[in-house]
Every structure is written in C-alpha cells, then in structure tokens.
Structure 1
C-alpha cells in the first residue's frame, strides 16, 4: 500500500549542516527534502545566542519530506538514535495526493 505522509522536522539552526548531511545519507529512504529557515517562539523555544534572546525567537531550520508511512517510521527511529538529546521536533501528517506537475498529462 502506498500511503504517503509528510514528515516535518524542526531543528536548531546549529544542527542544519549535520541534519542535511544525515538526511542526504539516508538514500534507501529519503529521495529528497525541502528546507527553510524558521523562527521558533513559545515557552519551549531555546534561545541560545544573545541575538536570539534580544529578538525573542530561536533560529531554527524546518525540513519537510514526503515518504511512504513505513519509511517515515524507519527514518524517525534512525533520527531518534542519531540525534538523541538534540531536541528535534517532528510531526507526521497524511498526504492525500502526491505527484509532479510536469506536462500536459500530469
């Protein structure tokens, strides 16, 4: 069954390169991902630098990828081991459609 989910990860910006390298190395599961800069707010946001404390927001990176549900579970298990203690935030959401708009037949 091809049930797809969107896995979203939020990490401190200090982990950006390490996380990107790790995800790029998971070629058996991850075919690609999209990332953007984010600003974390709220009582659980860890303000690590003086600039973050002045602005009142944590510098973070947000990563999204579409995976088959079993692959998302496997990747989460790997991430929990590889990034233990890193405070990565994640969630999974169902994807009702997934494809590529590429031409007249799309």
Structure 2
C-alpha cells in the first residue's frame, strides 16, 4: 500500500510567524519544506488584535502549507497542538493527488 500525500494548512496570527517557522523547520523528521504567505483573516471567529486591524477590518495572519505523508501529518499536528496550545491556530488538511518538482 502506498502512502498518500496530504497538504496541511496552518493559519496563525502574524506575531507567531517567526516562532512557527522556526518550530516547523526543526521538525526535520517529518517536514522537508513548507510554503508561507501573508494573509488577511476575515470572519466572526477572527480576533482583531490591534487598532490597525480594527480599522482595516481584517486580522494580519500568516498561512503555512506543508505537503507531507498522511502517516506523518497526525504526528506533526500533535506536536503543534502541544507547542502552540492556546494560540488558536487554525488548520485543515486536504489530500494531494500528485506532488513533484519540474526539473
């Protein structure tokens, strides 16, 4: 049976950017790399933490996407839950049909 790839997406407050990036980069047994971008959080569950965010009407956040094996995602998620308890990180996981590098 072959292992299925998945994409784990994390959404975190921008203030956690450095700490989150460092933590993910340290998980070399599970993560070979990741992609990150700045995003604007909208919705009733989003906390606007500063006056600037309240004026803009959205929260400054960072999105991280990690493609990894299905068997590894649960272990990484458990580590993240422990390391970032109370931070209200948002996450979702979707299957990846194919993954590769164009050479």
Give the structure-2-normalised TM-score: 0.97
Which residue of the partner structure matches residue 21 of structure 1? Answer: 22
Residue 81 of structure 2 aligns with which residue? 80
- Over aligned residues, Cα RMSD in angstroms? 0.5
Residue of structure 1 in register with 2:101 after alignment: 100
Structure 2 equivalent of residue 65 of structure 1: 66
CA distance in 2, matches of 1:99, 1:31: 13
**Contact map agreement 2:3 2:71 (CA 8 A) in 1:** no
C-alpha displacement of 1:70: 1.1
Q: 2-side partners of 1:48 and 1:62: how far apart?
A: 17
Structure 2 distance, partners of 1:4, 1:81, is: 23
- CA deviations over 1:60-97 (Å, ceiling 9, x no partner): 00000100001111000000000001010000000011
The gaps in structure 1 that reach 5 residues or longer are none
Any stretches of 5+ residues in structure 2 without a counterpart?
none
Local SS of the residue matching 2:43: coil
Moved beyond 4 Å, runs of 4+: none
Partner of 2:40: 39
Counting matched residue pairs gives 102
Contact preservation (8 Å) 2:35, 2:64: yes
Whole-Å separation in 1 of the counterparts to 2:13 and 2:47? 9
